Amino acid sequence: MDPSRERYYRGLFLVAAVYDLVLGVVFTFFHKPAFELLDVTPPESGYIPLLGSFLIVIGVAYYLIWKGDLARNRDMIFVGTLYKLAYASITLIFWAIGDIPNVAFAAVFGLADAIFFVLMLECWLYLGRQAATGDTQAVA
């Protein structure tokens, strides 16, 4: 793999790791002030901290992708790509039908995840093409 492409992919997953870890910590431990900042009544149930903890876990996965062998982590890249697709599509659909508590959930987080989805999908496809052509050089 071209060293500049490798740096780009690693940078992508480092940014994704930091982004999801920060949001995960905020929505796990500080979700009430975060919702108040967005002028949204915070839900009383525990599902927001649960979602925040999922963000922490996926943030750790992106960190491990960044740190590890990209080709060997292709399966984790696929899971992370699906995660970004799931959040982006759900928030953008709910934004389109007018059922989102604050536009930031879609216009900021949803669009960010849509961009991450496209970039991660390109990485996953590139690594697949690389493997199919027999270029199995480890990218550690």
What whole-number distance in Å separates Cα of residue 102 and Cα of residue 88? 15
**5-15: per-residue pLDDT in tens?**
999 999 999 99
As given in the structure block, the two tokens for residue 79 are 């899971």
* pLDDT for residue 139: 52
Answer whether 0.85 is exceeded by the pTM: yes
- Strand, coil or helix: what is 52? helix
User: How large is the angle between the packed helices 74-96 and 47-67, nearest 10 degrees?
Assistant: 140
**70-127: per-residue pLDDT in tens?**
999 999 999 999 999 999 999 999 999 999 888 888 999 999 999 999 999 999 999 9
Task: Answer yes or no: is pLDDT of 140 > 60.
Answer: no
The answer to whether residues 72 and 136 touch, using CB atoms and an 8 Å cutoff, is: no
Q: What is the DSSP letter of 30?
A: S
**9-63: per-residue pLDDT in tens?**
999 999 999 999 999 999 999 999 999 998 888 888 889 999 999 999 999 999 9
User: How large is the angle between the packed helices 3-29 and 47-67, nearest 10 degrees?
Assistant: 160
